[in-house]
Amino acid sequence: MTHPTWDQASLALRLLALDPVGLGGVWVRARSGPVRDRFLDAVSNLPGAQTKIPATATDDALFGGLDLAQTLDRGHTVRTTGLLAREGVWLLTMAERIPSDLAGRITLAMDDGTKATVVALDEGVDDEILPPGITDRLAFHLDLEGLRLAETATIPLQQGHILDICTPDDIAQTITSIATQFGITSARAILFTLRAARAHAALHQRDTVDDADVMAAAGLVLAPRATQVPTVEEDDPVDTPPPPDATEPDGDQGKGNQDDLTIPEDILLEAVKAALPADLLAQVAARNHRVANGGGSGSGDRQKGNRRGRPLAPRQGRFDGRARLDLVATLRAAAPWQMVRKRTAKTQRPIHIRSTDLRFKRFEDQSDRLLIFTVDASGSAAIARLAEAKGAVELLLAEAYARRDHVSLVAFRGNGAELLLPPTRSLVQTKRRLASLAGGGGTPLAAGLKTAMDVARSAKGKGLTPTVALLTDGRANIALDGTANRAQAAADAQRMAQQAQSESIQGLVIDVSKRPEKALQSLASHLAAPYIPLPRADAKRLSQAVSASLDAM
């Protein structure tokens, strides 16, 4: 027996086969495996040839352009045909990694009337998400995660047409009302539901859309797009069809009015509710979080490209319209083969270049680094530690222009943490902010780490590479909620450290206590950061230790 999720996927593909262009396509969220392979076997039977569009497709590949290798080889201009000019099925592999500019080009081609069906394969995890411009243009959204091969079956597809299917006059109004109650604001969802209902009628060889067609279409199109669960008032009257007129001729009785939809709205509402995922609210929250965080598009420490940065050795490659040809390296690679090529060439040219000779320029652009000093300002020795931190920050700022470092300062004491110095390279501003820094109270270590992580996330979004330098000499004794609970405080600090490690935020744990603390060693292991014991460290030693650790990263 097949799983209900697979039954929905099968129905979606069968409807897509009847109206491939009108329904836009399907978004499939599934990991690579036998279940997805079985689904793709059915996709291969959709009308038209398949064209794979990778997430790294360039403008030349999408729209066509100069084939440099063939042009050099043949001696005359050779152009390529763009992927977006092909009809049939566009298979978007690794769709969750499609950049926004490529997504815009694909949606433009879909809006321009290209006769193609889009199948977006999404293997995204965590913050990865398919661009919303593409998902809005695909009628069906399927999630095959968790399915086993034994819960699936072969999907038979049949082709047909939906041109002669009649649609009741009030169906659009009813579907619009249902979509509004589920928090769906896209007009395309309404149109897709109408077309899916017509395709469902054609699939069952009916010439008019009926109640079953509307319910099936709404469950497939509207349910995955829902952002809220509607509530139905008990006292609200339910619209029911009027009884047939007694004076109506017998020949018209039982025929029904094809211009009206007979299904009550509350029944259609319940049908869509039944198709909703069990954790709808959690999914919506996760979806909003991914969109708010830019779809997981972070910034690395080093970015390789072909435009700017430190030059790297050229590499062999394929001309894609974005790479910059290294002419000298190309000629150097072709030089040893000139005598052989001249003897075998059909045309006489001064230089014979092959595609294997092409070399392209590469550069490495290293992003600016941000040092987030997270200083323990609690207890009787706070003044000494803060003085050391001030000196270390000023020493590092003196090297900031050479190292391209920014500096930030977070102090934690009492019941919480405070950002005292936002990311800056200004020495004057740093001295002014540090002048009035005071200490005392408990040790809210978790709060300090949480504030530092917030600064690090913001820095990543601005293209910086953050590193958290934790400076402390004691154990945590204030929990994240502000209560004095040593055990909970230690657990909260470890949890914050693990979260920072999972987000690839680099760190240093600097222990300035008189003797090395095992609790700080454990915290460093959870943070996946170097542990540096520096008892009685002064500003100069602290600065040297941080610089040495950063150079080793």
Rounded Cα distance, 298 and 522, in Å: 28
Q: Which fold has domain 369-552?
A: Rossmann fold (3.40.50)
3-state secondary structure of 68: helix
> Which among 133, 195, 156 is positioned nearest to 46, based on CA atoms?
156
Backbone φ and ψ for 237, nearest 5 degrees, come out as -70, 145
Rounded Cα distance, 486 and 471, in Å: 19
| Cα Rg of the chain, angstroms | 32
Strand runs labelled E in 290-415: 302-305, 310-316, 359-366, 369-376, 405-413
Tokens of 386: 């803060």
Rounded Cα distance, 126 and 143, in Å: 15
Cα-based distances in Å from 343 to 74, 170, 358: 15, 77, 21
Rounded Cα distance, 138 and 177, in Å: 21
Strand order in the sheet with 416-424: 416-424, 405-413, 369-376, 465-472, 506-511, 531-533
- Fill in the amino acid letter for 154: T
What is the DSSP code (8-state) at residue 1?
Answer: -
Under 8 Å CB-to-CB from 461, ≥6 apart: which residues?
Answer: 294, 299
Residue with tokens 């509710």: 273
Domain boundaries, the chain: 4-156, 161-231+259-295, 315-363, 369-552
**Helices within 3-141 (DSSP H only):** 4-18, 34-43, 59-63, 68-74, 100-111, 132-135
What is the DSSP code (8-state) at residue 93?
Answer: T
Domains 4-156 and 369-552 share a fold: yes
- What's the start-to-end Cα distance of the chain, in Å? 54
3-state secondary structure of 467: strand
Residues pairing with 120 in the sheet: 27, 92
Q: Which fold has domain 4-156?
A: Rossmann fold (3.40.50)
> Which among 285, 176, 309 is positioned nearest to 228, based on CA atoms?
285
Domain 161-231+259-295 matching CATH 1.10.10.10: the answer reads no
DSSP H or E segment with residue 281: helix 280-292
Helix, strand, coil percentages (3-state) for the chain, rounded to 5, are 45, 15, 40
Tokens of 24: 């836009």
Tens digit of pLDDT at every position of the chain (553 positions): 888 899 999 999 999 999 998 999 999 988 888 999 999 999 998 888 899 998 888 877 888 877 776 776 677 777 888 888 888 999 998 888 888 888 888 999 888 877 889 999 988 654 567 888 899 999 999 988 888 999 999 998 887 777 778 888 788 888 888 888 888 888 999 999 999 999 999 998 888 888 888 888 888 998 888 877 766 554 444 444 454 444 444 444 433 444 555 566 666 667 666 666 655 545 554 555 444 444 433 333 444 444 455 676 777 777 666 677 888 888 888 888 888 888 887 777 788 888 788 888 876 655 678 888 888 877 645 655 667 666 776 776 666 656 667 888 888 888 888 888 888 877 676 677 766 666 677 888 899 999 999 999 988 888 788 889 888 876 788 888 888 888 898 889 888 988 888 888 888 888 877 777 888 888 888 888 888 887 766 667 777 766 666 666 6
**Whole-number pLDDT of residue 275:** 65
> Which among 474, 468, 467, 465 is positioned nearest to 515, based on CA atoms?
474
Quick count: other Cβ atoms within 10 Å of Cβ 137? 20
- Fill in the amino acid letter for 408: S
Strand runs labelled E in 416-464: 416-424
